[in-house]
Amino acid sequence: MKGVSGTDMETMKLRAHIGADGILQIQAPTDLKDTSVEVVVVVQPLPDAEVAISSEPQPRHNAWGNPTTKKSISNAIAIMEQLRREVSLDKTSIRSMIEEARR
């Protein structure tokens, strides 16, 4: 489908759940990157029968559009912990930097 400016439009139909806070959060991977887009959102409550059918967990994606799994989350946590160990400073170094800054 062509948009107003003549570019291709991508249409997605998603199901989401609005939490008790009333905030709708949508994560939708696209092929578009580093560009401004116009997004149209239509919110329509589902009948109770459809809600029961859709209670299966939907696949989630990270910010790069890759599916998240227990393994990918565990790998990300391990990488963050390793990075924290590599860049962390001991208390003595921090104290000496504070003292140096006060001089």
Classify residue 82: in a domain, yes or no: yes
Residue 88 lies in domain? 59-102
Classify residue 20: in a domain, yes or no: no
Kindly report, residue by residue over 44-97, the tens digit of the pLDDT: 888 876 555 555 667 788 777 778 888 888 888 898 888 888 887 777 777 888
Classify residue 41: in a domain, yes or no: no
Alpha-carbon distances, residue 27 vs 65, 66, 89 (angstroms): 9, 11, 36
pLDDT for 56:
60
Classify residue 64: in a domain, yes or no: yes
Classify residue 74: in a domain, yes or no: yes
